[in-house]
Structure 1
Amino acid sequence: MNHPSLFNDFLNETVNLNDTRVKDLETSIEAIKNAVRASDWQPHLNGWMAHGSWAHQTIIKPVDNGEFDADLIVFVEHVDGWSAATYIDELYRAFRANPTYKEMVNRSSHCVTVSYANDKKIDVAPCLTNRTNALEVCNRTADQFEQTEPKQYTEWLVQKNGYSGKNSFRKVTRLVKYLRDIKGRFTCSSVLLTTLLGYMISEADQGSADFADTATSLKTVLGRLDDELQKHATKPTVANPFLKSEDFAATWTEEQYTNFRDKIHTYREWIDDAYGEQDRSESIAKWRRVFDDEFAKGVAAEEGKSVSKALVASFRTTLAEASQFTGDLVDAIKRFGARVLPVSFDKKPYMEAPKWKSSGQNVAVVMRADLHGSKYGTQKVRAVQPLEPLQPGYWLHFKAVTSTGLPFDPSDYKVMWRVTNTDEDAANHNQLRGGFEKPESDNSRWESLQYRGVHLVEAFVIKKRDDKIIGKSPAFRVMIE
């Protein structure tokens, strides 16, 4: 499913750089321009240009709430006798002479960086307009001038965004940057990543259903990128579209490229799976596997908290004998039985989607639960059945066995447990859970009985040799009074 409203909220609330920081950036940029104009830096100024993610409107909020980067080009005329390094060194000296920026600046290969503690960094890069017939930036480290085409490159990205429609290219780029930063599983500079994604869009895409909404656009572009990467076992050249001599992939190692190729392939599979899933809750869970728990965070938490209210309101209208019922879900099950629970009850949007691939097998997995007075208690009170009313304060010991009652050998298999709580009591204690839990040494699992409601425990059996799922138990419904 494509969940357009959830993607819109995710972009606005989590991914996009918030308006306050954008406005503050613009204020800081103007102050830097005024400082340079008022300084004794010798070059004649021919204008300014925003560059990088800020100019391309693909800048994102730092996932760790730390600093973000913005690029500012200052176009200047050549000063006779100055080398490439001189432009950077003299600009640095000019900033150091300004009391406001004296302790905020440092030099790098191509720019002077102004750092605002715990907020942002602004790179100011000189670009020569008339030393030759081409625009040139300054490489201080090599003391060389390098040809560049920032204006045409930015226009190219604007064109790609226009082909995709609905600002789709920019949204997809932000999402993939977020994926890179939140997962931390691959290395790829922003200019390289943006260029790779840009090459995946053409004029033929105008008005295409492949870019109907954000999720569809993401699926389209990542799918095309994966297909292209799979054609290249070794690192390809990723040229600046208007300066073929500039290879944005030049700093990539073969190892980094191979890892990037593998990760994009995995994320493409996850995205296709989430997009193709027709069950709403499972689709949300699978999108959360892609983007982690910030995606649909509020929706998932609210749906978990309001389980009782939603179901009680529903069966009041469908069960004649329940029209005047005033209790919660636990009371309803005790009075009317399990029929008040829909089949979809076992699927919650905040459940973590499995990261293990399926082996293609479908081995039957049977769940057994025993009641104990304490964790690791040697004497069980009794065996427990699903939806049997249980009192808080006890412990349940879960075991996953085959259809013949045999355990899964821990030397060959691991059993991962997905434990999902529901309803207000668990939500109020921030314990809706829904993630995977490790087993005991014998692949069993202990759980305490704490929160009123109906909760779910599932066992996923994974073969250690290939790390693939061979079977999964039905959800065991635990009801705590």
Structure 2
Amino acid sequence: MKHVDLFNDFLKDTVNLNDTRVKELEISTEAIKDAIRASDWTPHISGWMEQGSWAHKTIIKPVDQGEFDADLIVFVSPVDGWDAAKYTDTLLDALKSNGTYKDKVKRWSHCVTVTYANDKKVDVAPCVVNRGGLTRLDVCNHDSNQFERTEPRLYTDWLVQRNAYSGSNSFRKVTRLIKYLRDIKTRFTCSSVLLTTILGYRIGPADEGSDAFADTPTALKTIFGRMDDWLQLNLTKPAVTNPYLNYENFSTDWTDEQYANFRGKIHTYREWIDDAFDEEDRSESIAKWRRIFGEDFASGVVINEGKSAGQLVVADMRRTLAEASQFGGDLVEAIKRFGERILPASFNRRPYMEAPPWKKAPANQQVGVTVRAILHRNNLGTQPVREVLQLEPLQPSHWLLFKATTNTGLPFGSGEYRVMWRVTNTDEAAASDNALRGKLEKPESDNSRWESLKYRGVHLVEAFVIRKRDDRIIGKSEAFRVMIE
């Protein structure tokens, strides 16, 4: 499923740099401009230009809530006798002479960076206009003391055109989402200019008005799929050139190993995106999108649906079950009075359940998995009280030992198999204690799992059996429903 509204909320609340910080950035850059103009920096300034993610409108909020980067180009006339390094050296001196910036600036290869601690960094890069009487733009590489041709306006215009072809600002939205994926997963290396250029090349004039860009999740699936297709055609690192400077190859940022890793990770994430998009069950689809983008995706849905799970079942029961129309209790009391028939099959699927990252073994290698639950007074492995049934009313402060077996009762030995457990709580008590859970968790040494009985409500325990030799799921149990009074 697409969940267009959830993607819109995710972009607004989590991914996009918030308006307050954008306005503060604008104020800060104007102050930097004023400081440079008021300094004794020699070059004549002919203009300014936002550059990078800021100019391209693909800037995102730092995932660690730390500093973000913004780029500012200052266009200057050539100064006779100056080499490339002189422009950045003297710009550094000019800013250092200002009391506001003297302790905030540092020179890098192409720019001088002004750092606002725990907020942002503004990179100010000199760009020399028409050096040597030629119509051209050059940035200054201090490290090599060389001038380097650049076309920032044309490159930005190219990205603006890609965004127009895709419509509804979808190219920018998708670029932000993929940059967020890069930063939240930290599983691949790709600079922002390289990533943005790769994505830009995946869109063309034929896409204007296309259903392939009907909304944000559809555009994400389209662009990500095209990127993966292109990568799979290139076994070794390809060139990714500036569309207006063919000799500028952004992929030189990659080592061969980094490219191979990027190619593999994008292929995996493409499979995950397709799986989440095509999943027809709402809760499972949300869970699969959360596997890609993390727990901040649909976080409001998770809290609300976890907390209200019991209320929704009881409300539906009152509407559909004549003898329950006047019932005033909660879910636990409803099951004790009317039985498990009131629980829909969909109750076993919660949107905050972590989607398993392992691939399934072929169907002919799948085995049935059953979960058994043994009641204990504590988790010290002492004499068990008894085996319990699903939805048997249980008292808090006891423990359950869960075991996964084949349908014929045979255990899954820890030498050959790993049993991962997904314990998902529901209802108000667990939600109020921030304990809805739903993540995949490791077993004890014998593949069993201890759980304490704490929160009133109906909770779900599932077992995933992973074959160790190929890391494939060979079986998954139905959810064992635990009811705590």
- TM-score, normalized by length of structure 1? 0.99
Q: Indicate the residue corresponding to 2:345 in structure 1.
A: 343
C-alpha deviation, 1:104, in angstroms: 0.5
CA deviation map 1:373-414 (0-9, x unaligned): 100332111110100000001100110011221111110000
Query: Equivalent residues in 2 for 1:74-85 (5 A)?
Result: 74-85=74-85
Q: Indicate the residue corresponding to 1:176 in structure 2.
A: 178
Q: Indicate the residue corresponding to 2:111 in structure 1.
A: 111
Name the SS for the 1:325 alignment partner: coil
- Structure 1 runs of 4+ with >6 Å offset: none
Gap regions ≥5 residues in structure 2: none
CA deviation map 1:191-227 (0-9, x unaligned): 0000000001111001111101110000000000000
Equivalent residue letter for 2:113 = T
Name the SS for the 2:251 alignment partner: coil
Whether contact under 8 Å (2:307, 2:431) holds in the other structure is: yes
Query: Equivalent residues in 2 for 1:359-370 (5 A)?
Result: 359-360=361-362, 361-370=365-374
Q: Indicate the residue corresponding to 1:87 in structure 2.
A: 87
Q: Indicate the residue corresponding to 2:446 in structure 1.
A: 442
- TM-score, normalized by length of structure 2? 0.99
Let me know the Cα RMSD of the aligned residues.
0.6
CA deviation map 1:221-264 (0-9, x unaligned): 00000000001111000000000010001121000000000110
Whether contact under 8 Å (2:191, 2:253) holds in the other structure is: no
Aligned equivalent of 2:469, options 461, 465, 476: 465
% identical aligned pairs: 70
Equivalent residue letter for 2:17 = L
Q: Indicate the residue corresponding to 2:455 in structure 1.
A: 451
Equivalent residue letter for 1:473 = S
Distance 2:42 2:102 in 1: 19
Q: Indicate the residue corresponding to 2:420 in structure 1.
A: 416
Whether contact under 8 Å (2:396, 2:455) holds in the other structure is: yes
Equivalent residue letter for 1:118 = N
Name the SS for the 2:238 alignment partner: coil
CA deviation map 1:91-123 (0-9, x unaligned): 000001111110010000000000001000000
C-alpha deviation, 1:134, in angstroms: 1.2
C-alpha deviation, 1:149, in angstroms: 0.6
Name the SS for the 1:380 alignment partner: coil
Q: Indicate the residue corresponding to 1:204 in structure 2.
A: 206
Distance 1:341 1:106 in 2: 63
Distance 2:65 2:450 in 1: 36
C-alpha deviation, 1:362, in angstroms: 2.3
C-alpha deviation, 1:74, in angstroms: 0.4
C-alpha deviation, 1:160, in angstroms: 0.2
Equivalent residue letter for 1:7 = F
C-alpha deviation, 1:133, in angstroms: 2.3
Distance 1:430 1:108 in 2: 45
C-alpha deviation, 1:44, in angstroms: 0.7
CA deviation map 1:323-349 (0-9, x unaligned): 000000000000000011001000000
Name the SS for the 1:249 alignment partner: helix
Equivalent residue letter for 1:464 = K
Distance 2:90 2:104 in 1: 16
Aligned equivalent of 1:312, options 291, 311, 314: 314
Q: Indicate the residue corresponding to 1:287 in structure 2.
A: 289
Name the SS for the 1:451 alignment partner: coil
